[in-house]
Amino acid sequence: MKFCSECGNPVKNEVPKGDNRLRHVCTHCEIIHYQNPKIVAGTLPIFEGRILLCRRAIEPRLGYWTLPAGFMENQETTSEAALRETLEEAEATVELEGLYTVMNVPEVDQVHIFFRARLLDGNFGAGEETLEAKLFTPQEIPWDQISFPTVFQTLKHYISDHPLDYFPVHVKDILRDK
């Protein structure tokens, strides 16, 4: 951030009184512009034992496979965001079956949340940001072509939990070099 969104004057980096972190502080109106992590919400859609993945039509990780997910919008709940992203990216209508993974990605200031979901009618397609959508059996998952560590981890958890038919919520930190 270079300029104040309130008054247009330059901002400086400083630790405000009583705080312990660097913030963008306006040099003119002295407003403190706090920045906080963004939430990415998505689903793990299942249909007849197979997992719905989307091949990305956009950067980053163009051409790699992902679970339908994206940034939450304002005024939205996490489940609404997950359902919307699933409809937009995979043209799929799903029913959520519970929170499944919560992953902190401090390096990029994001938190990724995935819900297990049931693909209702078996219909899906490629949305604007998707090259193709496809159902994979656990054995067919293209592990070396998965877009992001949080998607990789969510799929790994599902593969281990599925045979037990027990799906606890997994909370994980995705750290650099791990």
Q: How far apart are CA 119 and CA 166, in angstroms?
A: 19
Interacting positions 58-117 with Zn ion (CB under 5 A): none
**Cβ-based nearer residue to Zn ion, 26 or 82:** 26
Supply 86's token pair.
């699933």
Q: Minimum distance from CB of 11 to Zn ion (Å)?
A: 7
**Cβ-based nearer residue to Zn ion, 7 or 58:** 7
Q: Minimum distance from CB of 23 to Zn ion (Å)?
A: 13
**Cβ-based nearer residue to Zn ion, 7 or 108:** 7
The closest alpha carbon to 94, from 83, 110, 85, belongs to: 83
Q: How far apart are CA 21 and CA 30, in angstroms?
A: 16
Interacting positions 4-43 with Zn ion (CB under 5 A): 4, 6-7, 26, 28-29
Q: Minimum distance from CB of 28 to Zn ion (Å)?
A: 5
| Residue 56 · residue 131 · CB < 8 Å | yes
Q: Minimum distance from CB of 177 to Zn ion (Å)?
A: 39
The closest alpha carbon to 113, from 35, 36, 34, 37, belongs to: 37
Residue 74 pairs with which residues in a beta bridge?
A: none
Interface contacts to Zn ion, rule CB under 5 A: 4, 6-7, 26, 28-29
